[in-house]
Amino acid sequence: MCVIGYLMSAILLREAREKAGFQGSMDTLLDRLGNIRLAACMGPAQKRGSRKVVYKIEEMEEDERQLAEALNITEEHYRRPKIKGFGVYT
């Protein structure tokens, strides 16, 4: 597992350097990516007893935004997998 995690991190670092011009270390990259957070906001009720959950990426620094756009993760929350019986509040 550790080897697979390291390989995935190394690929991510290479992509960040090639696409975003990232100059930092792997640790710095993972810290910056850790600052990009997804919030689950409760929307208005569709019908009695049900609330709609809306996912939004929180505000971030400009360098984090450039990194997220270069790695194509800014729109990833729109493609969340739907698993029956599993949700935010189930």
Query: Residue 77 gets which letter from DSSP?
Result: G
- pLDDT score for 25: 96
- pLDDT score for 1: 67
- The pTM score is 0.72
- pLDDT score for 87: 64
Counted domains in the chain: 1
Q: Could you give the CA distance from residue 88 to residue 20 in angstroms, rounded to a whole number? A: 32
pLDDT tens per residue across span 10-27:
999 999 999 999 999 999
Domain assignment present for 86: no
Q: For residue 60, give its domain range.
A: 2-79
pLDDT tens per residue across span 27-82:
999 999 999 998 888 877 777 777 777 888 899 999 999 999 999 888 877 777 77
State yes or no: pLDDT of 89 exceeds 60.
no
Q: Could you give the CA distance from residue 39 to residue 67 in angstroms, rounded to a whole number? A: 19
Domain assignment present for 74: yes
Domain assignment present for 45: yes
